[in-house]
């Protein structure tokens, strides 16, 4: 067991601090919520001392990971086995043998052991938070309690598959221009390092005065060759600084806000976040998870701190008897159509179905947005690269043109 320090909000809005004993962060949050508190921040440390924590960190750092694809396949196969009438323990034994991932194989074996000792499967999975997140555990618990575990696992597999697809599309769309810029950077570095010095030697031998554009390119080439380490150090410091700032609550919110405001990509990120939280909230509500817990979990998977904060704050208002529409309508990044559809679903008691329709719509919108961004970014990047390289070429040939005209 470990001691977890926490900050939490009471239902009246007051923030309190405290400590709780738990085996992991997921269990700690459950114990905090059992005290009628809304956990804001949970920080834990092992009783075994710093050396034990460091050893655990090192081991987890180099341990094989369980990908979303592995988890999706495991979930789908698990649902199929249970639906076929095979008992949970026997299903897990079959999955343990069939799973190629060594980390997942070991985890399944530990879950089987815990279930054999009388624990519920959700409690057994709770001991492995790096593989089974709060969404997964809550849905499995709902499936166990309601006796429809196979249906819940099928929904989980569908959810994981769609979530991974949306995430990969967004990441792919953002990697495309980054990749082009990286290639462009290498090409420009090669030109400035190896090509420009040859021209510089030629111009020195001619003894003529160089045009200003040529002088600028030669000076840039000299700085790149002589002070390359300073450029590299600046880039590293900038990346580390941004990542460090993003790791803070204020920094993540500020950067996520800027990302939502960026041309092209802001709209894509917004649609992706709406699709993710709608799909998650729909899945949780369909499986019988309470609205407060469902909002708490959904806020963590939206992928954007601005939208996450709105969803999280809506829990407090709902606990006071207010409508979820109020906080959502105050966030300009949540479309009015989404707010209105959720409001209709809240009034008719079919919010899970309405959220599923919203998720379907915005998942299609992500596909359209990715295609649009690709079609716009490609010619735009070509124009920028062509302008840079063309400008360098013109700058280096200006003295040659001048020399030729003087000879004529």
Distance CA 307, CA 269 (A): 11
Q: State the pLDDT at residue 20.
A: 79
Which runs of consecutive H residues, i.e. helices, occur in 149-227? 149-190, 196-206, 212-226
Q: Phi-psi category of 72—alpha, beta or left, where left has phi over 0 and alpha has psi -120 to 50?
A: alpha
One DSSP character per residue, 69-135 reads HHHHHHHHHHHHHHHTT--HHHHHHHHHHH---HHHHHHHHHHHHHHHTT--HHHHHTT-TTTS-HH
pLDDT tens digits, residue range 250-298?
899 999 999 999 887 888 888 988 988 888 888 888 888 888 888 888 8
| pLDDT at res. 179 | 82
Band of residue 105 on the pLDDT scale cut at 50, 70, 90? very high
Q: 300 near 322, Cβ under 8 Å?
A: no
Determine the average pLDDT of the residues in 368-373.
84
Q: Output the six-digit token pair for 98.
A: 């069939």
**Domains in the chain: ranges and CATH:** 2-62 (3.10.20), 68-162 (1.20.81.30), 163-408 (1.20.81.30)
Beta carbons of 329 and 256 less than 8 angstroms apart: no
DSSP label at residue 299 = H
The reported pLDDT for the residue numbered 92 is 92
Tallying the residues shown for the chain, one arrives at 408
Quickly count helices (H) and strands (E) in the chain.
18, 3
How distant, in Å, are the alpha carbons of 193, 196, 216, 383, 390 from that of 395? 16, 10, 9, 18, 9
Which DSSP string corresponds to 84-103?
TT--HHHHHHHHHHH---HH
Listed ranges 31-40, 210-219, 374-383; the one with the highest mean pLDDT = 210-219
Least-confidence region, from 201-210, 261-270, 339-348: 201-210
C-alpha 220/C-alpha 108 separation (Å) is: 58
Report residue 49 as tokens.
């001392």
| Cβ-based neighbour number of residue 44 at 10 Å | 19
- pLDDT, residue 6, reads 82
Report the pLDDT averaged over residues 345-368. Answer: 89
2 contacts 45 by C-beta, under 8 angstroms:
yes
DSSP string, 347-381: HHT-HHHHHHHHHHHHHHHHHHHHHHHHHHHHHHH
Return d(Cα 365, Cα 383) in angstroms, integer.
27
Query: Residues with Cβ < 8 Å from 88, sequence gap 6 or more?
Result: 82, 115, 121, 149
For residues 111 and 96, the answer to whether their CB atoms sit within 8 Å is no
Contact 225, 193 (CB under 8 A): yes
Structure tokens at 394: 């013109």
Tell me the pLDDT tens digit for each residue of 56-92: 333 444 455 788 888 989 998 998 998 888 888 999 9
Structural tokens at position 77: 């196969």
pLDDT (0 to 100) of residue 50 = 40
d(CA 26, CA 126): 7
Split at pLDDT 50, 70, 90, the class of 403 is low
What mean pLDDT is reported for the chain? 82
CB distance 6 to 43 below 8 Å: yes
Of 310, 309, 281, which is closest to residue 293 (Cα–Cα)?
281
Tell me the percentage of the chain whose pLDDT exceeds 70: 91
Comparison of pLDDT for 226 and 65, the residue scoring more:
226
Q: Give 309's DSSP letter.
A: H
Q: For the whole prediction, is pTM greater than 0.85? A: no
The per-residue pLDDT for 47 is: 46
Dump pLDDT digits (tens) for 230-249. 989 999 999 999 999 998 98
Q: Are strands 37-46 and 2-10 parallel, antiparallel or unpaired?
A: antiparallel
φ and ψ of 79, to 5 deg? -65, -40
Q: How confident is the model at residue 405 (pLDDT cuts 50, 70, 90)?
A: low
Q: What is the mean pLDDT of residues 45-56?
A: 41
Give me the percent of the chain exceeding a pLDDT of 90. 15
* Residue 240: predicted pLDDT: 94
Residue 72 to residue 80: CA distance in whole angstroms: 12
Q: How far is residue 270's CA from residue 15's CA, in Å, rounded to a whole number? A: 30
Residue 70 burial (10 A CB sphere; 0-12, 13-18, 19+): middle
Segment 323-346 shows an average pLDDT of: 86
Is the separation of the CB atoms in 223 and 197 below 8 Å? no
**pLDDT for the residue 56:** 38
**CA 276, chain centre distance (Å):** 11
What pLDDT is stored for residue 1 in this prediction? 61
- The whole-number average pLDDT for the span 333-359 is 89
At residue 404 the predicted structure's pLDDT band, cuts being 50, 70 and 90, is low
Give dist(CA 392, CA 400) in Å, integer: 14
Rounded-to-integer distance, Cα 24 and Cα 282, Å: 27
């Amino acid at each position: 067991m470990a001691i977890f320090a926490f900050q939490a909000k009471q239902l009246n809005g007051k923030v309190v601090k405290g400590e709780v004993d738990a085996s992991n962060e997921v269990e700690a949050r459950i114990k905090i919520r059992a005290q009628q508190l809304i956990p804001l921040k949970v920080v834990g440390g092992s009783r075994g001392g710093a050396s034990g924590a460091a050893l655990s960190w090192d081991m987890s750092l180099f341990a094989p990971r369980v990908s979303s694809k592995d988890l999706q396949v495991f979930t789908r196969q698990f649902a199929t086995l249970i639906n076929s009438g095979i008992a949970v323990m026997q299903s897990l034994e079959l999955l343990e043998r069939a799973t190629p991932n060594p980390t997942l194989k070991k985890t399944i074996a530990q879950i089987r052991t815990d279930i054999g000792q009388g624990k519920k499967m959700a409690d057994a999975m709770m001991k492995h938070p790096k593989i089974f997140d709060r969404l997964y555990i809550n849905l499995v618990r709902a499936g166990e309690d309601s006796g429809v575990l196979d249906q819940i696992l099928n929904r989980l597999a569908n959810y994981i598959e769609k979530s991974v697809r949306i995430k990969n599309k967004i990441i792919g769309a953002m990697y495309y221009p980054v990749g082009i810029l990286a290639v462009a950077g290498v090409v420009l570095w090669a030109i400035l390092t190896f090509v420009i010095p040859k021209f510089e030697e030629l111009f020195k031998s001619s003894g003529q005065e160089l045009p200003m554009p040529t002088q600028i390119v030669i000076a840039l080439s000299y700085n790149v060759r002589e002070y390359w380490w300073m450029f590299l150090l600046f880039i590293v410091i900038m990346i580390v600084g941004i990542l460090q700032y993003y790791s803070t609550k204020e920094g993540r919110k500020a950067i996520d806000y800027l990302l939502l405001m960026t041309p092209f990509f802001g709209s894509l990120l917004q649609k992706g976040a709406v699709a993710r939280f709608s799909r998650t909230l729909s899945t949780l509500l369909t499986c019988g998870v309470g609205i407060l817990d469902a909002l708490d979990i959904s806020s963590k998977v939206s992928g954007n701190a601005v939208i996450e904060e709105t969803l999280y704050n809506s829990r407090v208002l709902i606990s006071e008897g207010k409508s979820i529409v109020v906080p959502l309508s105050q966030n300009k990044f949540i479309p009015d159509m989404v707010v209105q559809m959720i409001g209709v679903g809240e009034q008719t008691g079919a919010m899970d179905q309405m959220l599923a329709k919203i998720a379907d719509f915005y998942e299609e919108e992500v596909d359209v947005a990715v295609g649009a961004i690709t079609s716009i970014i490609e010619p735009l990047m070509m124009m920028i690269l062509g302008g840079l390289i063309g400008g360098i070429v013109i700058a280096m040939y200006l003295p040659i043109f001048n020399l030729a005209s003087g000879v004529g």
